[in-house]
Amino acid sequence: MRVLLTAAATTALVISGPLTATAADQGPQGPVGGDLLTTKPTVVADGATPPAVQASAYVVADLDTGAVLAAKAPHAKLRPASTLKTLTALVLLPRLKKSDVVTGTDADAGIEGSKVGVYPGLRYSVDLLFKGMFLASGNDAVHALCAHDPGGVEGTIQRMNQKAKEIGALDTTVTDPTGLDADGQYSSAYDLALFAKAGLARPDFAEYASTKFTAFPNVGNKGTYQVANQNKLLFNYDGALGIKTGYTTLARNTFIGAARRNGHTLVVTLMNAPHGITEDATNLLTWTYKNYNQLDPVGTLVKPAAPPPKAAGTAEKKTESGTTQPPRSRTVLNPGQAVQSLALRVPAWAYAGPPVLLLGLFLRRPRSLRRRRH
């Protein structure tokens, strides 16, 4: 009897166990991109000594090969300031039509921080708002773009956090798409390099990042005023591709810059720098190009995770503005999971049924014994 009951209980646990005790994804072991890429404020390079810079953290990497060639505290979680707008762009660019027209609101104009000059009642193309975001780091342009996208600001924040995970930027947490010093908002020099790599793979991102000037309409549509790119690397470094600068009181100066020379596309990211950000970026890029053949990689920029395959018959839907909305998700179970799922729905007492029936057979006395008692 005890043996049968024990077997029944064991069977129930074996069937239900994998569903109730599934181990959580532990993620990669060690620092993302390699063991040498840590949060420690130690400069890491192999083959030559990089110039001293004032930033608390930086990364220099080859975007063509993904090799990290020099780093300092690459995974230190620091405030990104407006360099975070590169991740904002990665989320919004594929979702918004450049020809859409957006009307400025009081909420756009009243936002804190740097502005390009979005005024209530004035009409702007999505294309122009992206230029205002990249060149002038306009928080008002960011707000207008987020508000135009289904889901608004909160939806953009959720998609930014999801996008960061997809491309391996695990140091990043987004709470404000403008990059302002919001509570709990952090990134790293390593993650900024991943944003640059993903961004420059898009022709529209690369074009906005390298645009030097644009014109914005004045109030009342009375002419325009010129807006210049704040990334000074574009104006004084041969082969510069631009990308994004940032500054807040708590983040101090942050920077993402890229250049293409001698068949190599390099990116340099810097965080928490007191001043001289353009000079530091210039020195690091020049040093890397000069010593490129002597440098050995100290890490790598991870590749984005492959997107999950779409189930058959789940076509994406488009909104009236032309943006894409994903289909409703459906869960498909493999045969083993299906059996486990069905087993989990069976009441626990049912597993004891078969042993009880068998018990009756063991307890039933043979006829020969019953006849002897009469």
Residues annotated in a binding site for substrate: 244
Q: Is residue 346 included in any domain, yes or no?
A: no
Which tokens in the block code for residue 132?
């205002």
State the Cα–Cα distance between residues 88 and 172, nearest whole angstrom: 12
Whether the pLDDT of residue 246 is over 50: the answer is yes
Q: Is residue 336 included in any domain, yes or no?
A: no
Which tokens in the block code for residue 279?
């000079």
Q: Is residue 159 included in any domain, yes or no?
A: yes
Q: Is residue 88 included in any domain, yes or no?
A: yes
Mean pLDDT across 44-72: 97
CATH number at residue 260: 3.40.710.10
pLDDT at 173: 98
Q: Give exposure, 125-158, as e/b (b: 16+ Cβ within 10 Å).
A: ebbbbbbbbbbbbbbbbbbbbbbbbeeebeebbe
pLDDT tens digits along 170-183: 999 999 999 999 99
Higher-pLDDT residue of 341 and 65 is: 65
pLDDT at 222: 83
**SS3 state of residue 216:** strand
Q: Which residue has the tokens 């060690």?
A: 30
Higher-pLDDT residue of 333 and 174 is: 174
Region for 256 from its dihedrals, namely left if φ exceeds 0, alpha if ψ lies in -120 to 50, beta otherwise:
beta
Q: Is residue 63 included in any domain, yes or no?
A: yes
Q: Which long-range contacts (CB under 8 A, 24 or more apart) does 353-358 make?
A: 354/8, 355/4, 355/5, 355/7, 355/8, 358/4
**Residues of the chain with pLDDT > 90: what percent?**
72
The residue count of the chain comes to 374
pLDDT at 186: 97
State the Cα–Cα distance between residues 331 and 274, nearest whole angstrom: 50
Please give the positions annotated as active site.
Answer: 82, 85, 137
Q: Is residue 143 included in any domain, yes or no?
A: yes
Whether the pLDDT of residue 24 is over 60: the answer is no
Count of domains observed in the chain: 1
pLDDT band at 331 (very low <50, low <70, confident <90, very high): very low
pLDDT tens digits along 67-84: 999 999 999 999 999 999
Residues annotated in a binding site: 244
Q: Is residue 369 included in any domain, yes or no?
A: no
CB atoms within 10 A of CB 297: 18
Asked if residues 29 and 170 have their Cβ atoms less than 8 Å apart, the reply is: no
Mean pLDDT across 119-133: 97
Mean pLDDT for the chain overall: 82
Whether the pLDDT of residue 363 is over 70: the answer is no
pLDDT at 67: 98
pLDDT band at 219 (very low <50, low <70, confident <90, very high): confident
pLDDT band at 318 (very low <50, low <70, confident <90, very high): very low
Asked if residues 92 and 177 have their Cβ atoms less than 8 Å apart, the reply is: no
Give the residue numbers spanning the domain of 86.
Answer: 43-300
Global confidence as pTM:
0.76
pLDDT at 309: 60
pLDDT at 21: 27
Q: Is residue 25 included in any domain, yes or no?
A: no
pLDDT at 147: 97
Mean pLDDT across 317-326: 41
